[in-house]
Amino acid sequence: MGNEEILKEVIHVLKSSPCPLENIDAETRVEDLELDSIELTKLLMDLENHFSILVPDQTWAKWQNIGDVTEYISNYQKEFGGLNLKEM
């Protein structure tokens, strides 16, 4: 899956959450999503489930914008391929 496809899927997951923004792109800042800690936790779990990835808390805290999220997922997929770590 290429970065553009990943970005589209990330945006889809975001729009399924209580995100107040209508226009989301790679430059959208995480803080602009205006999600409280519970909503952010749910979003993180939704991303993990959607992409079959694991995201440590310290990683999530470093994400500044949606491009960072997309890059993490892309790098994760390159490193682990189709391996679903949740099934291990």
Domain membership of residue 88 (yes or no) is no
Q: What is the spatial distance between Cα 17 and Cα 86, in angstroms, rounded to a whole number?
A: 22
Q: Quick check: 13 and 46 in contact, CB under 8 A?
A: yes
pLDDT at 18: 73
Which range marks the domain in which residue 63 is found? 3-83
Domain membership of residue 62 (yes or no) is yes
Domain membership of residue 67 (yes or no) is yes
Domain membership of residue 45 (yes or no) is yes
CATH number, domain at 37? 1.10.1200.10
Of all residues in the chain, what percent carry a pLDDT higher than 70?
92
pTM above 0.75, yes or no: yes
pLDDT at 17: 78
pLDDT at 21: 81
Q: What is the spatial distance between Cα 47 and Cα 64, in angstroms, rounded to a whole number?
A: 16
Q: How many domains does the chain have?
A: 1
Instruction: Report pLDDT digits (tens) over 32-50.
Output: 998 888 988 999 999 999 9
Domain membership of residue 9 (yes or no) is yes
Domain membership of residue 29 (yes or no) is yes
pLDDT at 88: 43
Q: What is the spatial distance between Cα 48 and Cα 41, in angstroms, rounded to a whole number?
A: 11
Q: Mean pLDDT throughout 7-29?
A: 89
Of all residues in the chain, what percent carry a pLDDT higher than 90?
62
